[in-house]
Amino acid sequence: MRSVEIITIESDFGAGKKGAKLGPQALISLINKQNIPFLSNANNLRIVADDLEENTEHPFNKNIESIYEVQQLAVDAIEKVLTKNLFPFIISGDHSNGCAGISAIKNFYSEKRIGIVWIDAHADLHSPYSTPSGNMHGMPLAAALAVNDLVEDANEVDEESIKLWQNLVHLGSKNIAPKVLPSDLVFIDLRDFEEDEEILLNNKNITFFTPQTRIEIGIEAVLNKTLAQLEACDLIYVSFDVDSLDPNISIGTGTPVANGMSENEAVFLLKALINHPKTVAFEITEINPLLDREKPMEEVAARILGKVLSNS
């Protein structure tokens, strides 16, 4: 692995429950207390959203103005790290920020074909037309794939909201959209999605592995099939939502779902992915220090990262 610079995107405008914006610094303080190779005392570029406000005007893409502003700053920060030939290690508040990570990589390496490994209980493929909640942490991949498919019984999205959504879809100075092909996206441990997302997964032929598959074939086979699917990609972006883990270790996150990965499976998977020569950036997200104090999510995350990065 190359030397890293840590980018913290300290925003939870995309989440239904508040607190994930505190996740990045909670994790950083543990990282700095432990001796985690590559991470402890690495330079930290902070994107702090404290001066931005909640905005209730757009019910199908809540807080989109603030989200867009945060993500523009994040794209610039990530591109700065890439310019220095360092590895962007991204710790984000909520998962709407995944759109910024993907956008930065595609904007910087615009001629390259980008593959995405999305390790998550959820599909994050909603658009303003399909979202049941309006929470944008369920939409980063729809933005990256430029999904504008009208669904049956689509939400009645006003023109202003559509315009703001299109800005996000075209995030990055080169305004590239889509950033990623559906064939170049792979989900690991996907297990909670709505019907509109399921239709997209099927219609666009997107590869996904459920916990049932992981149990049947094992995590190593899941990894190998993932890399085989992304064979034609030049670069890989890895996004790790901690709700992919089983709730017995991952309860301090906004939307935990049963039957997730064990700690050992996560360590194995992340170690292989983070050290893969095509991997160009890594994101960890959705740690909410306000939610569970018995098994703090940031402690689990720090422990996993320590194991992932030792001897790598």
Point out which residues bind Mn ion (CB under 5 A). 95, 120, 122, 124, 241
Smallest distance, Mn ion to C-beta of residue 239, A: 8
Cβ nearer to Mn ion, comparing 10 with 124: 124
* Cβ atoms of residues 210 and 257 within 8 Å: no
Phi/psi region, residue 146 (left: phi>0; alpha: psi -120 to 50; beta: rest), is left
Residue with tokens 């757009």: 58
CA 178, CA 126: separation in Å to the nearest integer? 15
Cα first-last separation, the chain = 7
Smallest distance, Mn ion to C-beta of residue 12, A: 13
CA 24, CA 18: separation in Å to the nearest integer? 14
Tokens encoding 262: 């064990």
Cβ nearer to Mn ion, comparing 66 with 239: 239
Report the DSSP pairing between strands 235-241 and 114-119. Answer: parallel
Cβ nearer to Mn ion, comparing 97 with 161: 97
Cβ nearer to Mn ion, comparing 58 with 95: 95
Smallest distance, Mn ion to C-beta of residue 190, A: 10
Smallest distance, Mn ion to C-beta of residue 95, A: 4
Phi/psi region, residue 126 (left: phi>0; alpha: psi -120 to 50; beta: rest), is beta
Smallest distance, Mn ion to C-beta of residue 96, A: 9
Backbone angles phi, psi at 61, to 5 degrees: -150, 75
Say whether 290 sits in a helix, a strand or coil.
coil
Cβ nearer to Mn ion, comparing 79 with 124: 124
Cβ nearer to Mn ion, comparing 36 with 238: 238
Smallest distance, Mn ion to C-beta of residue 139, A: 10
Instruction: Tell me the residue number closest to Mn ion, measured at CB.
Output: 95
